[in-house]
Structure 1
């Protein structure tokens, strides 16, 4: 019997360990993509404080910068966490539990990355232009991230899980 609803009706005949191995491999591939992005962003953020322009930032912009750096550090920690989790638990026969915790860390890292990228965009646009449209632009990009990263995947999961539960399939566009 499947450990969760994701494999219902999919024709997979895996043991709990085989499922954990597969999910671990998939998760690590996902984390690699997110880790690269957050590490590059975080690296650039760390250099800002050492530029001559930093001294001339208004207090609001400095606060946004500090919050963004802290969020970037937190996102980095959450997205690197699955690697440490695996390393410390390898061979302990707790892979299904490790996969569950690694998935939670990855999701948390994605949420933190979403907020970090939004805050970084806010800071950049505030410094690049003092236009009143900046909050609207940032809000639009934030909404786009939420749509791409969360709404579309959850909608797809709901649509296809519901169809599988009814015994039918839904066409793939």
Structure 2
């Protein structure tokens, strides 16, 4: 059995600190990673947006008060903005294709995806608030929606940043120089 600091033959190794790739290879890899991430977020945004568009045609919609109608319009606009930001990398790719600008494409698309995720979270939060207000008529709807938004903030930002800090804290320490060790039997 080997440890992270030893190779298969038991000799001491240094932990890997990165990949040996050209800027173009890195951009290609990052683009592929970004597309996988977008597929998840984009699907959720499009399904939610499609559902929101159908709500206005439901009989109960006519019974909504002024605040709930405004909340609905805000939610639909947020959903449209999220969908636009999350699908924008496709347009960028079409415009940048063949121009040897993949690193710039990746940077622009990553920014748009981050904006799209914020807009998607706001869309979900406002849709939840609207749904809970209509379903329960309770003042607790706002508190519940706020708690869910806090959960999103924790899952989508706080926890990843904490893990990144923890990982970077371990990475910045110089690797321990170890002598040749014998492999486990």
How does the TM-score come out when normalised to structure 2? Answer: 0.84
- Match for residue 132 of structure 1 among 135, 139, 162: 139
- Name the structure 2 match of 1:76: 83
The answer to whether the aligner puts 1:22 opposite 2:6 as a matched pair is no
Q: Does the Cα contact within 8 Å between 2:133 and 2:139 map onto a contact in 1? A: no
| 1:92–1:141 Cα change, 3 Å | same
Task: From the two aligned structures, give the one with the greater helix fraction.
Answer: 1
- Match for residue 161 of structure 1 among 165, 168, 178: 168
Following superposition, the deviation at residue 17 of structure 1 comes to 0.4
- Name the structure 1 match of 2:18: 11
- Across the aligned residues of Structure 1 and Structure 2, the Cα RMSD in angstroms comes to 1.3
Q: Which has the larger radius of gyration?
A: 2
How does the TM-score come out when normalised to structure 1? Answer: 0.89
- Name the structure 2 match of 1:5: none
Following superposition, the deviation at residue 168 of structure 1 comes to 5.5
- Greater RCO between the two (CA within 8 Å, min separation 6)? 2
Q: Give 5+ residue unaligned stretches, structure 1.
A: 1-8
